[in-house]
Amino acid sequence: MVDPEESAASGSPELTLSPPEEQILRSLRSSGSPLGEEELAPATGLPADTLRGSLQRLRSKRLLDVEEEHRTGYRLTERGSVARSAGLPERRLARLLASAPGGLDPTALGASGLTEEECSVAIGVLRRRGLLEPGVPLRLRPNVDPGAPTPEEQALDRIAGGERPDEGALPALVRRGLVEVLHSTLRRWRLSKEGAALELERSRGPMIGALTPALLTDGGWRGASFRPYDVRAVVPYRTGPEPHPYAQFLEEFAEILVGLGFEEAEGPLVETEFWNNDVLYMPQEHPARSVHDAFSLRDVVGRITDPALLERVAAAHEGRPLPGTAHPLSRGWRVPYRTDIAERAVLRSQTTAVSARYLARKPEPPFRMFCLDRNFRPESLDASHHIEFAQCEGILGEEGISVRDLIGIFRELAEGIGIRELKLRPSYFPFTEPSVEAYVRHPQLGWIEVFPGGLFRPEVLGPLGIEVPVAAWGIGVTRLAMVALHVNDIRELFSDDLGRLTGRGA
């Protein structure tokens, strides 16, 4: 740590010095020869941080020169120390093979005390040195002296004894993690020509550095001089909190949608299968349900609170006319609808469940709604998949809404985030028909799918009592955030690393 008092201490056109700086100059002057920090510390009695900061400031005032000597040293790692005392793996294997004239099968080496990695290294080394017969079993060549010290062993001994090792053996030892290289710089400080010529006189009496409460209380500051600070000096690197970048991105994205006339909605993270799937006409026993799987919860069960809606949804699934109507909406899934499945609790796998709840409240058309929130799917975790991800769901309900309008939404949203190239392809979601995926061209990633959507099926809208067509889309906002925030690993979006979030570095 740099002492903030000292960091901004003296230095002006008149070249004022802080007391530590004066002490350093005096010590160097009385020594008459360059000194290192380890010698200056006892000579000046300054704490290490203060000493180091003062030396740098004196150098910037051109009063000191520094001589630097770069040194390279070597040290045994913990693994290296163990290998030196127990023997390098190749030494241990050579001994083992020397005691087994018929040779050993590599698979039998597990019982020798060598780990699998050590066996692999040892066999490789002995083979490279031509000490093994070709093939298996492993056999030493005739006339091999298993006791002769190798250059690596000699190097380990020399390093352990503080001597300089033979350079030839070092790269292999470093690569094997047995030796680490230590780089150091030895600095020795001496007075510059200006420093030597400077007169060290304190003619202005005592000078105040930090203004302490005691000085204020007892009036000690009256009549004293204040030491001027170098207002241009380098100060410590300060960091502070910033808005979380991912949260910030989501906020800004939401504002785009508000600007397009959408009102925000939200729903529970734990849903029943009824709202998560069934209301959306996702069949209960069908591969279409596996469009995405959901997390189920231990010891949590839901219940149906709207039996009339349940009956309408069941009728749509089974291909029966809705209550009070004469004709079925379609053939349906043609299997008996099960309430026990509908009541299961799951972690919401799509924000479309929020759209379903919104529509169940029978909004007055025309309506536009969005929900930007978390969803959960049991995906395998990797750089581009997280089991928790944000989705931006939107619906647009209005008389006369068609696929053209849906495509218009995609186009508008893409332009809203600065993307002009868009292409479409057919897709499938059990709750929309037609279903479309829009791909956008990213300068680095190429075409990426970001806008899946479609028109809600009659089997969704009918049971909910919605009489206008509804376009729906769900944007993979997490993927857009990765692009916008230049993040290559989705897990970084959730980063709680203070180095990243405050810029204070690791």
Inter-residue contact 123 to 106 (CB < 8 Å): yes
Residue 489 in contact with other proteins, rule: CB under 8 A? no
Q: How far is the CB of 36 from other proteins (least distance, A)?
A: 28
Rule CB under 8 A: choose which of 37, 39, 180, 398 binds other proteins.
Answer: 398
Q: How many CB atoms lie within 10 A of CB 100?
A: 15
Inter-residue contact 432 to 297 (CB < 8 Å): no
Residue 358 in contact with other proteins, rule: CB under 8 A? no
Which residue, 40 or 481, is less far from other proteins as judged by CB?
481
The length of the chain in residues reads 506
> CB under 8 A: which stretch of 34-42, 177-185, 186-194, 491-499 binds other proteins?
491-499
Which residue, 160 or 424, is less far from other proteins as judged by CB?
424
Inter-residue contact 503 to 241 (CB < 8 Å): no
The DSSP secondary structure of 211-226, one letter per residue, reads --HHHHHHTTTTTPEE
Q: How far is the CB of 119 from other proteins (least distance, A)?
A: 32
355/472 Cα distance (integer angstroms): 9
Q: How far is the CB of 51 from other proteins (least distance, A)?
A: 22
Which tokens belong to 479?
A: 């993927």
417/254 Cα distance (integer angstroms): 12
Which residue, 122 or 353, is less far from other proteins as judged by CB?
353
Question: Which parts of 443-497 are beta strand (E)?
Answer: 446-456, 470-475
Which residue, 156 or 406, is less far from other proteins as judged by CB?
406
Q: Name, in order, each residue with C-beta under 8 angstroms of 198's C-beta and a sequence gap of 6 or more.
A: 15, 25, 63
For other proteins, the binding residues in 230-269 under the rule CB under 8 A are 240-244, 246-247, 251, 254-255, 257-266, 268-269
Question: Which parts of 175-257 are beta strand (E)?
Answer: 179-191, 207-208, 225-226
Q: How far is the CB of 274 from other proteins (least distance, A)?
A: 9
DSSP state of 424: E
Which residue, 198 or 288, is less far from other proteins as judged by CB?
288
> CB under 8 A: which stretch of 51-59, 148-156, 194-202, 382-390 binds other proteins?
382-390
* Stretch 277-316: interaction string toward other proteins, x if CB under 8 A: --------xxxx-xx---xxxxxxxxxxx-----------
Residue 340 in contact with other proteins, rule: CB under 8 A? no
Q: How far is the CB of 286 from other proteins (least distance, A)?
A: 8
Q: Name, in order, each residue with C-beta under 8 angstroms of 286's C-beta and a sequence gap of 6 or more.
A: 333, 335
132 three-class SS = strand
For other proteins, the binding residues in 420-459 under the rule CB under 8 A are 422-428, 433-436, 455, 457-459
Q: How far is the CB of 472 from other proteins (least distance, A)?
A: 13
Which tokens belong to 266?
A: 């939200």
Residue 361 in contact with other proteins, rule: CB under 8 A? no
73/114 Cα distance (integer angstroms): 30
Q: How far is the CB of 138 from other proteins (least distance, A)?
A: 38
For other proteins, the binding residues in 114-153 under the rule CB under 8 A are none
Q: How far is the CB of 341 from other proteins (least distance, A)?
A: 13
Degrees, nearest 5: CA angle 360-366-367: 55
Q: How many residues bind other proteins (CB under 8 A)?
A: 103
Q: How far is the CB of 500 from other proteins (least distance, A)?
A: 10
